[in-house]
Structure 1
Amino acid sequence: MVSLQWCGCADDSVKVVNNSQKAKVLWITVGLLAVFFVAEWSVGLWSQSLSLQADAGHILSDITALAISLLASFLAQQPANKKATFGHQRIEVLAALFNGLGLLAIATFIILEAIQRWQHPAAILGIPMLAIAVLGLIVNLLNITLLHPHTHDDLNLRGALLHVIADTVSSVGVIIAALAVHLWDWWWADVAISLLVATFTGLSALPLVQESLKIFLEYAPESIDPVEVEISLKSFPGVIQVEKLHIWTISLDKVMLSANLTVECITIQERDRLLNKLESHIQKTFNIAEITLQLTSCRKALPLPIHPLFNQDLVFMLSASKTHSNLEPS
């Protein structure tokens, strides 16, 4: 059984630098959102704007989610030990799942508040609402610029980015609602924008929750078809059968594969060469770096042994037959 691990000291150093940069970006984002939350919540209460209050609640959930992300990023850097043999990388996936569920909860809360406001409308101050919404748009665009470069291989940061994108859309909606309230006194615009923001927030959370659950349920990644992998392995000369093929994801950028392969009767050197070819093929074709393959050589059936008692009876019969033939007169 052989396992390939494509890692080295240089790769570890790069990972440490990347993790440090991600943590710094998260801290800056949390700081900006915390300052803006205080301002938006205060103005939302003063102006009686539901969309501002809803967006402020969303901001609070973002701050909580990012704090979880920081904790998850720290724990994910801890080395593997006797109990956590894969390390703590799935903590980031768990944080992403909580982020998605938090978005769904916020969306539900906004919808319920919008229904109540529709039944009991209130006077809204359009100018303060517009000013804080423009400030929120600027803050969210800055946060998107900070987070986006680090989300390609990090499901946790991708969840944080979805929060900020939802906030950005919410800020645009609040700006539109503020203009409608100030220019035409359309109080219902505040309620309508709140419903749109809630819908967008919920829809943006569903893919994040779905992808996180697939990782926890150890599904194969969407980009890899296990049937195609099995066919590819069987296409190699000498491979007779593929059994116990398992493909699962530890984190967004770490896919595992294990399988038992039955191969033709070959020498140890030929088996080693075949093993190297198979692992290299899987790594290049399917982008799977963590590979464990067990090769078992087929063996020809050996002749069944004759029971010792049967052997003794056969010898006795042959001896008796020979003796009888010698006693017969010629």
Structure 2
Amino acid sequence: MKSEKRILIAFWLNFSFALLEAIFGFLFRSSAVMADAVHDLGDALAIGLSAYLEKLSKKKGDRKYSLGYKRFSLLGAILTAFILILGSFLILLENVPKLWAPEEVNYQGMLVLGLIAIAINLMASRLVRHGHSHNEAILSLHFLEDILGWLAVILVSIILHFTDWYFLDPLLSLCIAGYILSQSLPAFWKNMKIFLEHVPEDVDLPAFEADILALDNIQTITQLNVWTTDGREKFAMLHVCPQDMAQSLTSKEDLRRLAKCHGITHLTIEFDLSLQEHEAHQTEV
């Protein structure tokens, strides 16, 4: 199944359950369930946006985006991570005061709803777990957030069958929000670095430069840029001064083999004037 189809199915699962939550929240007269319904509805809209951007990312380059649309998938991952971070901070702000003034919970209804919620989120998580895009990876984290949240609700519901420790509900929510922040903040920053064309983490740029200069026909490097558009394909633009321009074809083959050894899939090579030719040209001028 294509990644955009997996994400679209996950969207409909999440959106349908958000509506279900709203209905049961009204029947239970539970503000907590209604609040979670609003939260899940926002998540569903984020997933829908991700599905659209994932589909858009498969388009080939055109006159508007000559390099293609791959970075739109990355944009979806950044937006979804931002929603996770924002949602976690809102949970923290909402539940810290409840530690001292906990609200009574309709634990019987929440227990049944929690079991349904976990089943739906497990199905959605299974759909995107085997994907390879950054978008699917961050969505998998989103479903993990929901599963952990509902496990906490079920645990609290069971405990409240025997006690009146209602403070456990906000306490567990704070623990889950903290865990999700610890996962989503690094993921957000990692995707932002790719978006800002940071050198890929698995490319050792100084070692790549040293290997280039170790080649027989290469005198100096005048420009070297390495980046990735989506975290998988890696690009490099290289300008070098050769000792002998007549051997440039052999040097290009050596440079392309070297780039592949460093995980670079696309290499653009430009040969500048050799140092001797450059000095001679400067003397003539």
Using the size of structure 2 for normalisation, the TM-score is 0.90
- CA distance in 2 between partners of 1:126 and 1:302 (Å): 86
In structure 1, the residue matched to 2:111 is 130
For 1:133 and 1:108, how far apart are their aligned partners in 2? 22
| Deviation of the 1:54 alpha carbon | 5.4
Runs of 4+ in 1 over 4 A off after TM superposition: 52-55, 300-305
Q: What amino acid maps onto 2:266 in structure 1?
A: E
For 2:203 and 2:72, the matched residues in 1 are separated by 23
Deviation at 1:72, TM superposition (A): 0.4
User: Per the alignment, in what secondary structure is the counterpart of residue 2 of structure 2?
Assistant: helix
Whole-angstrom distance in 2 between the partners of 1:175 and 1:67: 28
Q: Does 1:185 align with 2:164?
A: yes
What are the superposed Cα offsets for residues 44-67 of structure 1, whole Å, 9 maximum, x if unpaired?
A: 4526373x4554444223211211
Find the counterpart in structure 2 of residue 33 from structure 1.
Answer: 14
User: Residue 227 of structure 1 corresponds to which residue in structure 2?
Assistant: 206
5+ unaligned residues in a row in structure 1: which ranges? Answer: 1-19, 306-330
Aligned partner letter, 2:59: Q
- 1:115 positional shift: 2.6
* Selected match of 1:255 from 218, 229, 234: 234
Contact 1:48 1:123 in 2 (8 A): no
Q: Indicate the structure whose relative CO is greater, using CA pairs within 8 Å and at least 6 residues apart.
A: 1
Match 1:211 to one of 181, 190, 201: 190
SS of corresponding position for 1:187: coil
| Identity within the alignment, % | 22
Please give the per-residue CA displacement for 1:93-150, whole angstroms capped at 9, x wherever unaligned.
Answer: 1111111111111111111221343344332121111111122112122222111111
Letter of the aligned partner of 2:107 in structure 1?
Answer: G
Contact 1:55 1:167 in 2 (8 A): no
* Residues 178 and 53 of structure 1, relative CA distance in 2, 3 Å threshold: farther
Q: Distance in 2 between matches of 1:49 and 1:181?
A: 18
The answer to whether 1:156 aligns with 2:132 is no
Distance change (3 Å), C-alpha of 1:275 and 1:66: same
Aligned to 1:294: 270
Equivalent residue of 1:87, what SS? coil
Q: Do residues 239 (structure 1) and 234 (structure 2) align? A: no
Q: Secondary structure at the match of 1:251?
A: coil
Extract unaligned runs of 5+ from structure 2: none
CA contact (8 A) 1:62 1:164 kept: no
1:62-77 correspondence to structure 2 within 5 Å: 62-77=43-58
Larger Rg: 1
Contact 1:47 1:129 in 2 (8 A): no
Per the alignment, in what secondary structure is the counterpart of residue 68 of structure 2? coil
Is contact 1:265-1:297 (8 Å) kept?
Answer: no
Among 251, 256, 278, the alignment partner of 2:255 is 278
Letter aligned with residue 223 of structure 1: D
Identify the residue that residue 48 of structure 1 maps to in structure 2. 30
CA RMSD in angstroms, aligned pairs only: 2.2
Instruction: Give distance in 1, aligned partners of 2:178 and 2:29.
Output: 24
Q: Distance in 1 between matches of 2:107 and 2:280?
A: 91
CA contact (8 A) 1:247 1:257 kept: yes
Q: 1:302 to 1:253 in 2, by over 3 A?
A: closer
Distance 2:161 2:22 in 1: 19
- Counterpart CA distance in 2 for 1:234 and 1:24 is 46
Conservation of the 8 A alpha-carbon contact between 1:54 and 1:110: no
Residue 240 of structure 1: CA displacement? 1.1
User: Are residues 158 and 68 of structure 1, via their aligned partners in 2, closer, same or farther at CA, if it must alter by over 3 Å?
Assistant: same
Aligned-residue offset at 1:266: 4.4
TM-score, reference length from structure 1: 0.78
In structure 2, how many angstroms separate the alpha carbons of the residues matched to 1:302 and 1:122? 84
8 Å Cα contact 2:213-2:220 kept in structure 1: yes
Work out the number of aligned pairs and report it: 280
- Measured in 2, the distance between the counterparts of 1:220 and 1:70 equals 27
Contact persistence 2:225–2:237 (CA under 8 A): yes
Q: 1:167 aligns with which of 139, 146, 152?
A: 146
